Amino acid sequence: MSHDPELWSEVDRYIAERLVPADPVLEGVLEASAAAGLPPIHVAPNQGKLLWLLARLQGARLILEVGTLGGYSTVWLARALPPGGRLITLEADPRHAEVARANLERAGLAGVVEVRLGRALDTLPRLADEGAGPFDLVFLDADKPSTPEYLRWALELTRPGSLIVADNVVRAGAVLEGSSRDPNVQGIRRFYEQVAAEPRLSATAIQTVGSKGYDGLAIALVLPEA
């Protein structure tokens, strides 16, 4: 019974019904994203609430998100910002960016969130060149093979005390498979190796089960340089 994905989803619903109140704006984001044909790979509601809590606990005033999709996690993070706070989210797919901008407009967040279109490995260096940041929280949730490169840029764009959060770091246990030919798995394995070798980071990862299956989340604190 404990390995039953249907049970995991039921528990997620139980948690959400009690701790994540129904929200027509967030539900509208999911409906609009589905209607536009976007893949249903957004975070679950209770995971969105976790992102909101992390941003609030962090006191984040400036947030960077790598991977927008339809803007569901973007709305959660942007709602955690204080007045005057800003969020920049990076999206490579023009259709996804279009849907996300419309969703953010309907959510009343168009003035808070900037959606930047382009490959993150192109837009991240531009952010650095502009002197953007330092960001108080960075959420990495884009193509997994590039996660190590995203982390490298996240370190350039943060400060001691910033949080870096990475999604999909367990991949149904496939992260154990060193011989895997899956570039997603290999990207996440390189991410772990990079974090472990980086003296500026103190991190952990937790395994998660639920409506999104079996996966995990990594959270890293940026430390002062020794």
The letter for the amino acid at 213 is G
State how far the Cα of 213 lies from the Cα of 192, in Å rounded to an integer: 21
Q: Are 80 and 73 in contact (CB under 8 A)?
A: no
The residue to which tokens 């993150």 are assigned: 120
User: In this structure, what token pair is assigned to residue 89?
Assistant: 């989210």
* φ/ψ (deg, to 5) at 185: -65, -45
pLDDT tens digits, one per residue of 133-161: 899 999 999 999 999 999 999 999 999 99
User: Coil, helix or strand for 69?
Assistant: coil
* φ/ψ (deg, to 5) at 18: -100, -30
pLDDT tens digits, one per residue of 4-63: 899 999 999 999 999 999 999 999 999 999 999 999 989 999 999 999 999 999 999 999
pLDDT of residue 112 exceeding 90, the answer is yes
